[in-house]
Amino acid sequence: EVQLVESGGGLVQPGGSLRLSCAASGFTVSSNYMSWVRQAPGKGLEWVSVIYSGGSTYYADSVKGRFTISRHNSKNTLYLQMNSLRAEDTAVYYCACTTSGAFDIWGQGTMVTVSS
Residues that bind another protein (CB under 8 A): 35, 37, 44-47, 50, 58, 60-62, 94, 98-104, 106-109
Residues 6+ apart with CB under 8 A from 84: 15, 17, 66
- Asked whether 115 and 13 are in contact (CB, 8 A), the reply is yes
Question: At closest approach, how far in Å is the CB of 61 from another protein?
Answer: 6
Torsion of CA 19, 111, 100, 61, to 10 degrees: -70
Looking at the Cβ atoms of 44 and 55, the one nearer to another protein is 44
Question: At closest approach, how far in Å is the CB of 88 from another protein?
Answer: 15
Phi, psi of 43 (to 5 degrees): -115, 180
Looking at the Cβ atoms of 56 and 116, the one nearer to another protein is 56
Looking at the Cβ atoms of 79 and 107, the one nearer to another protein is 107
